[in-house]
Amino acid sequence: MGDSVRTRFAPSPTGHLHIGNARTALMNWIFARHSQGKFILRIEDTDQKRSTRESEQSILSDLQWLGLTWDEGPDVGGDYGPYRQSERFEIYQSHLDALIRSGQVYPCYCTPEELRARRVSAIEKGESPVYDGHCRNLSQQEKKHLEDQGRKPAFRFRVPPGETAFEDLVKGKVVFQNETISDFVIVRPDGMPMYNFACVVDDHLMKITHVIRGDDHVSNTPRQILLYRAFGWECPCFAHIPMILGKDRERLSKRHGATSVDQYRALGYLPEALVNFLSLLSWSSASGEEILSIEQLIQDFDFSRVSNSSAVFDTEKLNWMNGVYIRKLDPAELAARLVPFLQKCNYPVPSEEVWLPLVKLLQNGIEKLSQFCEKAKWFFHDTVEFENNEAKELIRTESAISIGKLFFQKTSTLSQWNGEIFKKIMKEIQTETGIKGKELWMPVRVMFTGNLHGPELHSVAEILGLEKCRKRIAQHIEHLEA
């Protein structure tokens, strides 16, 4: 196969890109980049009833959002296409014919009902419910008789006796007894190639050197190795990475929350944070660091540091990591990324002189971009919404009303406004009323934002502007005195 590393990611376009599949794509991409090799995207769309071009485009979009660019694929071409399995049927047919001619494949005329009945019978007898080789040695006359009945055969691979072993880059030596595999179908009666057959043909012809995938595929590997040997081809290296589990140690599913990349995208996770987080599921850097740039991930990658243990998807850790990346962003870059979330909330993008200060003010307080609108609603809403009854009751006190009245009076003749002027006014109010600490500042915060806690109040006041500050104070005073 040569010295150049070639990895592939081969999704089925039957839905959105699952987070576990994204992690598989990431591992293939990182290893290819680490090895100065090629990363190939292949679309496995032989399930024509469920496969759609919309799903394919969605998967490609999510991979691009994550930054996982491919060197060959259905949209960019390459020397080993086509890169959609639905466009490779003639290739599969010619390779099936070769196996039939060599006698390593035979037609099987058993119906699904007959196969089911034999499995049930085997289980009742305490035997292994594998295919019993019923059609393995049919004569030409018997085949013709079955075909005259209108039966169309599937094609099964003749599994030889003995065992099939391989050295996994993650699991070490793995051994399967061939008797547990039994003769498996490689092409259905309707002519559709099965996964293991199409996968082997494509991986060989596309010169894939390393097959990196989830360990739910381990049981497929001996079948694929047998097919490689049947063709006389060299096997690629296999690396099976542990599955991703939820906190309950069950396979990650919808009950654990978001499961597809587009859902995490919509929730406001940054692609660089999601890539960093996914890379650390069952893998760790020799440095022990957890916040790793993509350049560091590529440089540090080593299969010897991939764990055999299943990875637990810890959403709290992802939130923390995403918050770290948000805080590291240049405020102007963060502002640009927040625009779609503002639009989703039907909030207008403020003028530049206000927008950037608002983003800077709230940058340290969010873990997801989707939280920004909630954190900033005090700016966008004309009326203040109280976060709870405690906030609502706080401004009903006599001291709060006195603070509000004094603030309104002292700002009535101002022509300029900023955070420093606000602090000066508040200091004057403290001196005149004797009220200080949170008893002084918290009522004003609630009148401005509806919240008991939040970012620095002088910055809030400056961003709101004098007119909005006075209007909000006046609304509360008028309401309380009504």
| Closest C-alpha among 128, 138, 129 to residue 158 | 138
- Cα angle vertex 399, ends 396, 405, to 5°? 90
Instruction: Report whether 379 contacts 358 (CB < 8 A).
Output: yes
The position carrying tokens 């104070």 is 473
| CA proximity to 268, closest of 65, 59, 455, 470 | 65
d(CA 257, CA 248): 13
251: β partners: 245
Catalytic choice (49, 125, 173, 254): 254
The CA distance from 419 to 409, in Å, is 18
DSSP H helices, 156-282, are 195-205, 221-231, 261-267, 271-279
Say how many CA atoms lie within 13 Å of 27 toward its Cβ. Answer: 29
Q: Report the DSSP pairing between strands 311-312 and 244-245.
A: parallel
Tokens encoding 460: 């809030």
Q: Cβ contacts of residue 143 below 8 Å, gap of 6+?
A: 107, 109, 153
- Per DSSP (E only), the strands in 55-133 are 105-108
254 catalytic residue (yes or no)? yes
67 phi-psi bin (left φ>0, alpha ψ -120 to 50, beta other): left
The amino acid occupying position 127 is: E
Question: What distance in Å separates the CA atoms of residue 297 and residue 284, rounded to the nearest whole number?
Answer: 9
| Contact assessment for residue 227 and residue 160, using Cβ atoms and an 8 Å cutoff | no
Q: How far is CA 240 from CA 173, 213, 395, in A?
A: 12, 5, 61
Phi first, then psi, for residue 200 (nearest 5°) are -65, -45
Q: Is the peptide bond preceding residue 153 cis, with omega within 30 degrees of 0?
A: no
DSSP label of 299 = H
Q: Is 293 strand, coil or helix?
A: coil
Q: Which residue, chain included where needed, has tokens 């400056």?
A: 462
Residues 272/325, Cβ–Cβ less than 8 Å: yes
Q: How far is CA 199 from the centre of its chain?
A: 24
CB 322 within 8 A of CB 273: yes
Catalytic residues: 254
